[in-house]
Amino acid sequence: MSQSGTVFPKVKPGKVILITILIGILGFAYLTHVFATQRLLREVQQLEAEYNKTRQKYDELKLRYDRMVGPAEIYQKAKEQGFINGGPANKVIIIKND
């Protein structure tokens, strides 16, 4: 009774259907995860671009503000109000010991 061929294990059709359904569920879960990850990546990239635009605008406004309150602006406003520039403050203070 020996046959010259390979011997296949006997698998019931119910097991084949069950395994196929499980593989399908796992494949569906994997694809859902991939699409969700891609969506999140797009959101992160969009937020990063928005952050970069906001950061650039902040830097420009901070530079403008620093120029407005910088020493040149302060000296000019002080001169307009009648203050006199005292010159550089490189005078040495000598402390006497008793």
Q: Are 77 and 83 in contact (CB under 8 A)?
A: no
* pLDDT (0 to 100) of residue 28: 97
Query: In a structure prediction context, what are the per-residue pLDDT tens digits for the chain, which is 98 residues long?
Result: 455 667 777 888 899 999 999 999 999 999 999 999 999 999 999 999 999 999 999 999 999 988 888 887 788 888 899 888 777 666 777 788 86
The residue ranges of every structural domain in the chain are 13-80
* pTM confidence score: 0.53
* pLDDT (0 to 100) of residue 85: 77
* pLDDT (0 to 100) of residue 25: 98
